[in-house]
Amino acid sequence: MGQYNQVPFAFNFKNWTQLFRTTGGNGEQTMITGDDLHNLRAIVGEQFVSTGESILNLHSHDESYHTPALPDAVLWPHSTEEVSRIARYAFEHKIPVTGWGVGTSLEGNPIPVNRGIVVDFQEMQKILAVRTEDFQVDVEAGVVYKELNKTLSRHGLFFPPDPGAAATIGGMIGNNASGIRTVKYGATKDNILRLVVVLPGGDVIKIGNRARKSSSGYDLVSLFAGSEGTLGLVTEATLKLAGLPANFMALRVTFPAARNATDTVFQVMCSGLDPAAMEFLDSNVIGVLNRDRGLAMEEKPTLLMEFCGFSEEGLRAEMTYIEEACKDNGCTFMDRGIGQAERDRLWEMRHLTFESIKRQHPGLLPLIMDVAVPLSRYSEMAELVREEVRGLLAYVFGHAGDGNIHVIVMDNPADSRRWARVEEANRRIVEKALEFGGTCTGEHGVGIGKRCFLPREHGDSLELMKRIKKLIDPEGLFNPGKLFL
Ligand SMILES: Cc1cc2nc3c(=O)[nH]c(=O)nc-3n(C[C@H](O)[C@H](O)[C@H](O)COP(=O)(O)OP(=O)(O)OC[C@H]3O[C@@H](n4cnc5c(N)ncnc54)[C@H](O)[C@@H]3O)c2cc1C
């Protein structure tokens, strides 16, 4: 059982006499009984149910500051059929069910706030079929996308959405994750063709198809993508793949002010070039990387860009145009290169950002803000965000090519006065993004932290979302306490 192998499953359900069930879902606490554990063990196997303290702790929190909550038990099913039997049992006994990938969410998305069962997909990691000629792969939900891409590289293919952390496909679908390559390839939901989903109550549905396009009825794949496990548990997915690029070109460019950097993004995007990634990093991010990694970069707003193409000549011509655009916008420094090794050299610092920020602030926790706005408002938003977080330990960066801005603020949630200031900045930034026609979350999902913004963002259509939830999960058992207040 991968990382959980060494944990002793010493619990004996017959001794668990104090357990009792108090209520069902819908915001109240439940506990599962010794009988429940016995019956759940009969479904997945004796050693694939745990109530061990360290296991419950591991499944009580994600990577955010949100308050942990212990589940009553963690289950590791092996198949769609087992997941279906778990869901049926949970429905009949009113036990909350929360899906679990690897818990790297940033808004409390998989925290089992109403206790109950956590369904961990670690035992469902099979790559079922690579269909090279269709540019598709069938996978189980527990497959880690970085591992998937290692396998796919042997076929000259890859699954483009790239959330950075070692996320599972099920977790990426749950949050509709995306990342640095969204500007070229889209988010997770743009790269899913077909899903197998276990509904509350245990019914199994297959949605979508294997064609690259379809006009056939409601788009249920998109409904489940980003639903954070509140409507169903994804057990299998057919994913759309892209061919591995033959060659790369990358640039790291420094500007006197954020607006010069974001204006360059606009100019490059307008030019008809097709960037694979365009990341904005403010001077604080560069400063923390300098301190943490012993680097000596100019501590100014910086753009990291990546392009891919077939020939070096073609990329060189594109580079000349981009260099001109950067100079037009007053750049003060430029480092660039062609080829995979150069791309990796120039981008390494970006992949180190989160770790460096955390390491430079021991004892503090991050609140990671995540808004997205229309591209025309990106410059304004970047400047405004800087103002809102003035006086805080704040690091602004983002996927500038798709309008997504992040701020990592390091602080101490136990210091209520200071933390209120952090949350207030978050609130103001989200409200500004909504005023600009954007969204409260570009990619991290709603979880617990963004629930309060949904009425403002969705207005009357939030009621329709609640009705859909009620229709599919009438008992409110699947990932309760998320999305809606
Ligand atoms: C350092 C760092 C960087 C990150 N960068 C990015 C980024 O650039 N872009 C981005 O989008 N995210 C980013 N994230 C957030 C996170 O990695 C992603 O949201 C990721 O997709 C979560 O995957 P997971 O496997 O950890 O899922 P989990 O956190 O375990 O679960 C995510 C959600 O999906 C549900 N779920 C899990 N499995 C299933 C299933 N099989 N069926 C239905 N629901 C399920 C859970 O209940 C939960 O609601 C980052 C996180 C970290 C720690």
| Confidence (pLDDT) at 347 | 94
Q: Hey, which of 82, 104, 227 would you mutate to test ligand 1's pocket, going by the most ligand atoms within 8 Å of its Cβ?
A: 104
**Closest residue by CA, ligand 1 atom 12:** 163
Q: How far is the CA of 336 from the centre of ligand 1 (A)?
A: 32
- Beta partners for 302? 254, 281
Ligand 1 close to Cβ of residue 108 (< 6 A): no
Ligand 1 close to Cβ of residue 141 (< 6 A): yes
| Confidence (pLDDT) at 147 | 97
**Closest residue by CA, ligand 1 atom 32:** 171
What pLDDT digit, counting tens, does each position of 134-186 carry?
999 999 999 999 999 999 999 999 999 999 889 999 999 999 999 999 999 99
Are 269 and 325 spatial neighbours (Cβ–Cβ below 8 Å)?
no
- Report the share of the chain in percent with pLDDT over 90: 91
φ, ψ for residue 264, nearest 5 deg:
-65, -40
| Confidence (pLDDT) at 29 | 56
What pairing do the DSSP bridges indicate for beta strands 73-75 and 117-120?
Answer: parallel
Ligand 1 close to Cβ of residue 123 (< 6 A): no
Q: Hey, which of 106, 126, 402 would you mutate to test ligand 1's pocket, going by the most ligand atoms within 8 Å of its Cβ?
A: 106
Ligand 1 close to Cβ of residue 161 (< 6 A): no
**Closest residue by CA, ligand 1 atom 7:** 163
- Which ligand 1 atom is the nearest neighbour of the CA of 164? 5
Ligand 1 close to Cβ of residue 101 (< 6 A): yes
Are 334 and 364 spatial neighbours (Cβ–Cβ below 8 Å)?
no
Ligand 1 close to Cβ of residue 142 (< 6 A): no
SS3 content of the chain, % helix, strand, coil (to 5): 40, 20, 40
Rounded-to-integer distance, Cα 418 and Cα 164, Å: 29
What pLDDT digit, counting tens, does each position of 287-327 carry?
999 999 999 999 999 999 999 999 999 999 999 999 999 99
| Confidence (pLDDT) at 8 | 30
Q: How far is the CA of 166 from the centre of ligand 1 (A)?
A: 9
**Closest residue by CA, ligand 1 atom 2:** 165
Ligand 1 close to Cβ of residue 162 (< 6 A): no
How would DSSP label each residue in 121-181? GGG---EEEEEGGGTEEEEETT-BHHHHHHHHHTTTEE-----SS--BHHHHHHHT---TT
- Which ligand 1 atom is the nearest neighbour of the CA of 180? 8
Question: What pTM was estimated for this model as a whole?
Answer: 0.93
What pLDDT digit, counting tens, does each position of 258-290 carry?
999 999 998 999 998 999 999 999 999 999 999
Mean pLDDT by 10 residues, the chain (485 residues): 32 33 47 94 98 97 95 98 98 98 97 98 98 98 97 97 93 97 97 98 98 95 98 98 96 96 92 94 96 96 96 94 96 96 94 94 95 94 94 96 96 94 97 98 97 97 98 98 96
What pLDDT digit, counting tens, does each position of 434-452 carry?
999 999 999 999 999 999 9
Rounded-to-integer distance, Cα 79 and Cα 339, Å: 42
Q: How far is the CA of 444 from the centre of ligand 1 (A)?
A: 7
